[in-house]
Amino acid sequence: MRYTKLFLPTLREIPADAEVISHQLMLRAGMIRKLTSGIYTYLPLGLRAIKKVKEIIREEMERAGAQEILMPTVQPADLWKESGRWDVYGKELVRFKDRHGRDYCLGPTHEEVITDLIRNEVRSYRDLPLNLYQIQNKFRDEIRPRFGLMRGREFSMKDAYSFDADEEGAAKSYQSMFDAYNRIFERCGLNFKAVEADTGNIGGSFSHEFMVLADTGEDAIVSCTECEYAANMEKAEVNPDYIIEKAGDESSPVSMEKVSTPNVRTVEEVTQFLSVTPKQLVKTMIFETSAEPVAVLVRGDHEVNPTKVKNVLGVETLELAGEETVLKFTGAPAGFAGAVGLSIKIIADTAVESMKNMVMGGNEKDTHLIGVNRGRDFEVSEFADLRLVTPSDRCPRCGKAIEIKRGIEVGHIFKLGDKYSKALSATYLDQNGNERYIIMGCYGIGVGRTVAAAIEQNHDKNGIIFPMPIAPYQVVILPLQMRDSEVVSAADTLYNQLTRHGVEVLLDDRDERAGVKFKDADLIGIPLRVTIGKKSLKEGKLEVQFRATGETELVPREQADKVLLDMIKNSVRSRE
């Protein structure tokens, strides 16, 4: 492709509304343009990178035995009502009616549609196992679309679904997708980690997320410094052997007293005002759920993990109560809630179980209670691991130190079991003629998010550094003097030779200063840059530069095409 023909609107300035580097660079390098919040057009350069990722995904899915299909974007509400998700999916699901008043939604995911297909087509154990995938645009009305393709509302996803006769087969399918995902992200040139994860809206019994390590990641990842354990913060377990540290006052219970604490609300304020440590304090958080409201108690130096609370209660939705609701249930403004006298259900984190003579809110404005003791002053209906892991916690598997890093979730795989096959009656006949539920798994990859994550990990102050396997072009040729016929003809010759060999080449044929060409080549991040200038050409040489390292090599003109072909081969193979 010739630069003068390419639709490549680059930007010099950093766009004001782009917070993260990948978003800034994708806009500046002319890869994407925003239509409206969370909805983007892919320009030629962006689309080429996206297509590369899709091709890697396709190759690895086919290698793992999955077959490509394509399902519709618009899905009938009836299927979602059958699965039970119509009422629980929430506002991310865009719903609308057709002219006959029938309900539909834009697919945020396709478990219902594929299960419907399978229940109609699969009859016998002979039809199983089966793995079907698609690469298709999803729509989710995200509450906070941001970071460009990282968290869009319309975005491209690869979603695969496996169907097996039993748990054993399903475990094999899961493992095979786990392995395929490792190969895909490795081939995309990413530094990533598979972590245990919560199953969220999709459901099922078990799941892993594939996290690209990056400081700008929206997720926190807990991983052991010694063993293999790694989990999303939402899921990360507290090691119970370490949670019963010296908590509160060890002496015998004292009597409970009310103390006046005017305008003293936060843990920091309360501990300072009353001269106690956060470990003597109990925080009472009120949540509203799809069932009854609940008060959750955690120690003053701990934070509630809402995902754990949601799972322990087995509720569909859970939300921290607003000021008004807190007032309604506790009789006090936020900051003064406590367990004593509360009429709603109370559950508590395990660390609270051994606490004595606690300090907590008094359910009255400007009031706290000291010397509070469970059993005498209030009751807890259940203790469980309900808090976020902290850096001072220990690995739940081996007890060694843990570390907490940030990550971008690019893939997520789930063991679904019979959740959807039961709800939609997807069954098969086994060898003995018995009707049994199909065991399912589902497996997603965010295509645009993967490209964004790759840029987040591979860039410098001058621009993108595309890993070769997902680069929109493999080589960029910069003829420095467009009015010198020898330079131009050397550039054309190399361009034609490489193109004939199937190399994706961009030829910067603009009549621009060298500095401008270098700047743009760096910005768009093509892995190999060939500079053709009068001076070196006189000596029969061209200069090749690696975008990633900045290293240059002078190459004899006649061998340039072969040398470049080798360089491309080596950089792709090293990822495979």
Minimum CB–partner distance for residue 134 and ligand ATP (Å): 13
**For residue 129, is the peptide bond before it cis, meaning its omega torsion is within 30 degrees of 0?**
yes
Binding-residue pattern over the window 409 to 448 for Mg ion, x denoting contact by CB under 5 A: ---x------------------------------------
How many whole angstroms separate alpha carbon 201 and alpha carbon 316? Answer: 9
Nearer to ligand ATP, 40 or 518 (CB): 40
Instruction: Give the one entry of Mg ion, ligand ATP, none that residue 544 binds, where binding means its C-beta sits below a cut-off of 5 to 8 angstroms depending on kind.
Output: none
230 binds, among Mg ion, ligand ATP, none (CB under 5 to 8 A by kind): none
Contact 59, 43 (CB under 8 A): no
Closer CB to Mg ion, 412 or 415, in the complex: 412
* Partner in contact with 410, chosen from Mg ion, ligand ATP, none, beta carbon below 5 to 8 Å by kind: ligand ATP
Which of helix, strand or coil describes residue 546? Answer: strand
Nearest to 455 by CA among 168, 45, 44: 45
The closest residue (CB) to Mg ion is 412
Residue 75 — left, alpha, or beta (φ > 0 → left; ψ -120 to 50 → alpha)? beta
Of the pair 158, 299, the CB lying nearest ligand ATP is at: 158
Q: Residue 306: which H helix or E strand, with range?
A: helix 306-313
Q: Which two tokens stand for residue 343?
A: 């009429």
CA 74 to CA 83: how far, in whole Å?
16
Q: Which does 446 bind (CB under 5 to 8 A by kind): ligand ATP, Mg ion, none?
A: ligand ATP
Q: Which residue is nearest to ligand ATP (CB)?
A: 446
Contact partner at residue 411 from ligand ATP, Mg ion, none, CB < 5 to 8 Å by partner kind: ligand ATP
Q: Supply the minimum distance, in Å, between the C-beta of residue 437 and ligand ATP.
A: 23
Residue number with CB closer to ligand ATP (121 or 319): 319
Tell me the closest approach of the beta carbon of residue 46 to ligand ATP, in angstroms.
Answer: 14
Residues 6+ apart with CB under 8 A from 287: 293, 294, 295, 296, 306, 309, 318, 319, 320, 321
Q: Rounded distance, CA 340 to CA 344, Å?
A: 11
> For residue 483, how many other CB atoms are within 10 A of its CB?
8
Size of the site for Mg ion (CB under 5 A): 1
Q: Confirm if 418 and 439 have CB atoms less than 8 A apart.
A: yes
For residue 52, state whether it binds Mg ion (rule: CB under 5 A).
Answer: no
Give 136 or 481: the residue with its C-beta nearer to ligand ATP. Answer: 136
Q: Which does 300 bind (CB under 5 to 8 A by kind): ligand ATP, Mg ion, none?
A: none
Cβ proximity to Mg ion: between 127 and 218 the closer is: 218
Residue 152 binds what, of Mg ion, ligand ATP, none (CB under 5 to 8 Å, by partner type)? ligand ATP
State in angstroms the smallest separation of the CB of 272 from Mg ion: 40
37 and 153 Cβ atoms separated by less than 8 Å: yes
In whole angstroms, the minimum distance from the beta carbon of 463 to ligand ATP comes to: 23
CB of 289 to ligand ATP, least distance (A): 20
**At its nearest, how many Å lie between ligand ATP and the CB of residue 167?**
22
Question: Structure tokens of 237?
Answer: 């377990």
Of the pair 108, 300, the CB lying nearest Mg ion is at: 108
67 C-beta neighbours (distance < 10 Å), count: 12
By beta-carbon proximity to Mg ion, the closer residue of 138 and 412 is 412
Hey, which residues between 397 and 416 contact Mg ion (CB under 5 A)? 412
CB-wise, 203 or 467, nearer to ligand ATP? 203
The nearest distance, CB 65 to ligand ATP, in angstroms, is: 21
Cβ proximity to ligand ATP: between 139 and 466 the closer is 139
**Minimal distance in Å, beta carbon 485 to ligand ATP?**
48
Dump the DSSP string for 54-97.
Answer: HHHHHHHHHHTT-EE----SEEEHHHHHHHT-TTTSGGGS-EEE
Q: Which is nearer to ligand ATP, 151 or 459 (CB)?
A: 151
Residue 449 interacts with Mg ion (CB under 5 A): yes or no: no
Binding mask 372-391 for Mg ion (x = CB under 5 A): --------------------
Interatomic CA distance for residues 436 and 43, integer angstroms: 48
Taking the complex as a whole, the smallest distance from the CB of residue 172 to ligand ATP amounts, in Å, to: 21
Q: Across the strands, what pairs with 146?
A: 151
Q: Which is nearer to ligand ATP, 458 or 536 (CB)?
A: 458
List, as own/partner pairs, every contact residues 256-259 make where C-beta atoms lie below 8 angstroms and the sequence separation is at least 24, other chains included.
256/340, 256/369, 256/370, 256/371, 256/372, 256/373, 256/376, 256/377, 257/369, 257/370, 257/371, 258/362, 258/364, 258/367, 258/368, 258/369, 259/362, 259/367, 259/368, 259/369, 259/370
Rounded Cα distance between 507 and 492, Å, is 8
d(CA 17, CA 23): 9
Rounded to the nearest whole angstrom, what is the least distance from the CB of residue 207 to Mg ion in the complex? Answer: 8
Residues that bind ligand ATP (CB under 6 A): 109, 140, 142, 151-152, 155, 157, 200, 202, 409-412, 444-446, 448-449
Where b means 16+ CB within 10 Å and e means fewer, 380-406 reads beebebbbbbeeebbbbeeeeebeebb
What single letter denotes the amino acid at residue 47? L
Three-state DSSP at 264 gives: coil
Query: What is the nearest approach in angstroms of ligand ATP to the Cβ of residue 292?
Result: 27
In the complex, the residues that contact Mg ion under the rule CB under 5 A are 412
